[in-house]
Structure 1
Amino acid sequence: MDTAGVFNSIQITTDAYRKRLGAVTPAKFHLNPADGGWSYAEVYAHIFDLSILSLEAIERCLTGEAKQRKTPFITRAILYFGAFPPAMKFKVPKQFESRVRKISSAEAAALIAEFEHKLQPYAEKLKTAAPERKIAHPRLGYLNALQWLRFIEIHLKHHLKQLNRIDKQDNFTSLRP
């Protein structure tokens, strides 16, 4: 896994989120697609909140709280190919459901900035990461620091595709809180 390449990909993807945020109207930002999916606001709250939590998992891998465990084969495949299998559908883990909420565009911009600020020190820290030190992911099993970074990249790209699907829909509803 090329750490510099993953960092670069994360930066490019984060820039795409920032550009999209500047292009969507505040009214549309809060509207839910008619199919019942998340609004832009909910996607931004989810993706950057959990990306920051993933950075905390990386920190725990680096500081000694980690355990020596195996990473499941399906997880290694996801990390290798850089995408979730198309047939796999994930729901937000129960412990994170309450964190998905509608935020303002300004809050989304602040979350992006916070994520980027917290990500920066890991460019150097990850150079000494021990691959056997892992922290549990709620769905994917145990990940080491580099795997957590790769997960952040894949997760960011996954939800950017979700925003592309939202963009293509004409029907929105504001009925969901």
Structure 2
Amino acid sequence: MNTAKERRAIDEALNNYRSMLDTINDEQFTQTPSGGGWSYAEVYDHILRSTLGASIALERCTHNNGQSAKGGLTLMGRYMLLMGSFPPFKTKAPAELEDSVKKIDKEEARNLIIKSRKRIDGITDKIKDALPYARYKHPRMGMLNAGQWLKFIRIHLEHHLKQLNRITKRL
């Protein structure tokens, strides 16, 4: 895995989230699309809080205090890390995730983007020193090491940019 390349892609994705935020008016930001699904506000809440959570798991791996390395990647984890994307079919978010997503305002979204970027900034250089067997469990992908967590963050950010584009088309 090329850490610098993944990092550039994460920065680009966060830049896209920030730019898109400036093009969405306040009313549309919290509006639920026709036919259901998440609003922009809910996607921003999910993706940025997930990024922060994943950065904590990544950091635990860089400090070599992850969980026991028992178990490896799930089939979905192998697919996503190999292909660099989510599978080509829709997946439903776990129920506990659906229940935790909330509508945030644009200012909170901006602050979460800044916070996410700072967390990633502070961790990226530590990945090279992380032990490959220092892993932390992802709920769907299995046991990930620091480099895999960084790649997951990039894949997840890019996946939800596509979701934001679908919302734009539906509004």
TM-score w.r.t. length of structure 1: 0.90
- Equivalent residue, structure 2, for 1:174: none
- Equivalent residue, structure 2, for 1:104: 105
Alpha-carbon distance in 2 for matches of 1:111, 1:99? 16
Q: Supply the RMSD in Å over aligned alpha carbons.
A: 1.3
The SS at the match of 1:86 is coil
Alpha-carbon distance in 1 for matches of 2:25, 2:5? 32
Q: CA deviation at 1:59?
A: 1.4
Give the 5 Å matches for 1:95-134. Answer: 95-134=96-135
- Equivalent residue, structure 2, for 1:71: 73
Alignment-mate amino acid for residue 4 of structure 2: A
Q: Is the 8 A contact 1:93 1:139 kept in 2?
A: no
Aligned length: 169
Residue in structure 2 matching 1:80, options 79, 82, 89 = 82
Q: Is the 8 A contact 2:10 2:154 kept in 1?
A: yes
Gaps in structure 2 of 5+ consecutive residues: none
Deviation digits for residues 70-128 of structure 1 (CA, Å, limit 9, x no counterpart): 223441221121111112x3333333333310000000001101101111012211111
- Equivalent residue, structure 2, for 1:146: 147
Alpha-carbon distance in 1 for matches of 2:144, 2:91? 18
Q: Is the 8 A contact 2:76 2:140 kept in 1?
A: no
- Equivalent residue, structure 2, for 1:2: 2
Alpha-carbon distance in 2 for matches of 1:96, 1:147? 21
Q: Is the 8 A contact 2:74 2:140 kept in 1?
A: no
- Please say if 1:37 is aligned against 2:26: no
TM-score w.r.t. length of structure 2: 0.93
Q: Is the 8 A contact 1:45 1:99 kept in 2?
A: no
Alpha-carbon distance in 2 for matches of 1:76, 1:131? 16
Q: CA deviation at 1:130?
A: 1.3
Deviation digits for residues 17-46 of structure 1 (CA, Å, limit 9, x no counterpart): 000001100010000111101000000000
- Equivalent residue, structure 2, for 1:175: none
Alignment-mate amino acid for residue 24 of structure 2: V
Alignment-mate amino acid for residue 57 of structure 1: A
- Equivalent residue, structure 2, for 1:61: 61
